[in-house]
Amino acid sequence: MAHHNGPRKKTRYKFKKDLRKRGIMPVTSVIQHFEIGQKVHVVCEPSIQKGMPHRRFHGKTGTVLGQRGRAWVLSINDGNMEKVIIARPQHLKAQR
């Protein structure tokens, strides 16, 4: 068989939602606003594929660099490299 390498490869358990958290998300997750320099956690929301960052960044913490349309530009350390990712607010949570 052919070798399939999609962006959601090996995410069967990583992107699985809890039983009681299934269904429609609250609107407040869509209209979140972050300040530049604020720390945010990247937690991919599996029910919304648009604006989802790569599975490699799931569970990482980054710094907000700015906004690009409806999405937010983040800086994340991946090993020794600093990477810039673009993610929609549904996939982000403010650090407390």
| Spans of all domains in the chain | 26-94
Mean pLDDT of 78-82: 94
pLDDT at 83 over 90: yes
Flag whether pLDDT at 93 surpasses 90: yes
Segment 56-83 mean pLDDT: 96
| Confidence class for position 23, pLDDT limits 50, 70, 90 | confident
Q: What is the CATH number of domain 26-94?
A: 2.30.30.70
DSSP E strands, 1-96: 39-42, 61-68, 71-78, 81-87, 92-94
Q: For residues 43 and 92, what is the distance between their CA atoms, to the nearest angstrom?
A: 6
Enter the pTM of the model. Answer: 0.90
Alpha carbons 78 and 87: distance in angstroms, whole number: 16
- At 24 the pLDDT is 85
